[in-house]
Chain A
Amino acid sequence: MSDILFILEFAGLILEGFIMTVIMTFLGLAGGFVLGVLSALGDVYGGKFLKIIINAYVEFFRGSPLIVQLLMFYFSIPILTGIKWDAFTAGAVTLMLNSGAYQKGYFKGAIEAVFKDQLLAAKSLGMTFKQTLMHIVLPQALRIVIPPWTNEYVSLGLSTSALIVIGLRELTNISKSIAAQTFRPLEVYLFTSIIYLVWITVSLKVLDYIYNRVRIPGLEVTSEI
């Protein structure tokens, strides 16, 4: 432990890996956000056929390991389509699909927490379905969803380490090569864990701050129903 500072020699590499981890997390969350909101709306307001498709999608991505999904997409899409794609694209797309499946559940709960009586009230004012969605449902659902959505942030952020299986150079992958090179796995992985921990802790504080900024008295009560 005397020269734990050896790790600083690899600071540049580690930073590179960390940035990749953060980028993949944000891409997955952002794509998953769009997919999640759309799937939730489709599942709540859509027709029967649409609901079946959405639920099949969700079941698939929630019911199989992320690692299997990554391997399958990375290796099978080129075979099926003839389009070669890199680990970055394959990884980002898989994370988006995976996160969208989880986020759909959170958004569905939040959308349903906006009670029917408010939808009827909006209708009685003459609002169209789209106006009701934009002015009544989403502003409430997006606030209500923040606390449960935080779980998905943490979960996806840590799950990006699975990207190692398709060779993407994110934090875990880089750590692995440093550990192999220096023969000091304990120190290296401990350091890596601390990076994950600090990152997640800071992110949670930021999300909590955002939630408190946009929170509206009494609105959270609805979410418990």
Chain B
Amino acid sequence: MADVVLACEGLKKAYGDLMVLKGINFKIEKGQTKVIIGPSGSGKSTFLRVIGLLEPPTDGKVFFEGQDVYSSDMDLNMVRAKIGFVFQEPSLFRHLTALDNVKIGLKVVLGMSEEEATEKAMETLRLVHLEEWAHHYPAQLSGGQQQRVGIARALAMDPDILLFDEPTASLDIELTWEVIDVMKELAEREVTMLVVTHEIGFAKEVADEILFMDDGKFLEWGPPEKVLRNPSTPRAREFLSRLLGGV
């Protein structure tokens, strides 16, 4: 059995009376890229937050590298440090430069020295092609640049997996490409990624699997060509014909 990085069983999440995730089984192995698509409000962001340990599940289990996260005595913050998160809105720390945004987790959470953290952060900013912008504040960067700093901030921690929640959804189209290109480069480097996105080109090119979420469950999953060309459920067919038809 390959190394499973992140998995869940029977995962449920409710907000009050509203059941958002309705029993999800999922796993992703080292080096894989999986893409989640699905209509707005179907629970994609909630799923990422729960499996990314930012919110506890209402029911079910989350496994990180084989260990049941909530019933072992793991330090949750240390596990979170191993799971990188890139959000839809570039959620950079506004009082810190690009460089310091990348450094802060290294210093505060991983306990790196100032020099070590600076070196690591610059190296990571280079990977997202932003070394020249290192000393700019978030407000001085474009949306696409901010999003790439966000990727660098997550990546610098040397996470075992990166989760992306519609990282290009709030960007103009020409800024979308620069972010998508960086994500493709990561996929080529065999970084494990779980990505919610409707950039179908990206999904086709790099996804090992596409999962279609609807109403708090995965209705359909498989290799891109199968899910995109030949969806078996009417809900997925309808969603995809709108998504692809619009292109």
A: residues with CB less than 8 A from B are 114-115, 117-118, 120-128, 131, 135-136, 139-140, 143, 216-219, 221-222
Q: Which residue in B52, B85, B92, B109 is a CB contact (below 8 Å) of A131?
A: B109
A-facing mask of B42-58, CB < 8 A → 1, else 0?
A: 00000001001010000
Contact B153 A216 (CB under 8 A): no
Q: Give the number of residue pairs across the A-B interface with Cβ within 8 Å.
A: 82
B94 to A216, Cβ gap below 8 A? yes
Q: Which of B62-96 contact A (CB under 8 A)?
A: 77-85, 87, 89, 91-95
Given contacts A124-B84, A124-B85, contact A219 B139 (CB under 8 A): yes
Assuming A118-B92, A127-B108, what are 11 further A-B pairs, CB within 8 angstroms?
A120-B91, A122-B93, A123-B54, A124-B80, A125-B104, A125-B105, A125-B157, A126-B77, A127-B109, A143-B95, A218-B139
CB distance from A143 to the nearest CB of B (A): 7
Contact A219 B80, CB 8 Å, known A117-B87, A127-B109, A131-B108: no
Q: Chain A contact residues: over half helix, strand or loop, or mixed?
A: helix
User: Which A residues are in CB contact (< 8 Å) with B85?
Assistant: 120-121, 124
Known: A125-B153, A218-B139, A218-B140. A118 touches B93 (CB 8 A): yes
Q: Which residue of B lies closest to A143 (CB)?
A: B95
Check if B216 is an interface residue, CB within 8 A of chain A: no
Q: Which residues of A contact B82 (CB under 8 A)?
A: 126
Q: List 13 A-B contacts (CB under 8 A).
A: A120-B87, A124-B80, A124-B83, A126-B81, A131-B109, A135-B108, A136-B95, A140-B93, A140-B94, A217-B140, A218-B137, A219-B95, A219-B137
Partner of B105, one of A115, A118, A126, A128: A126
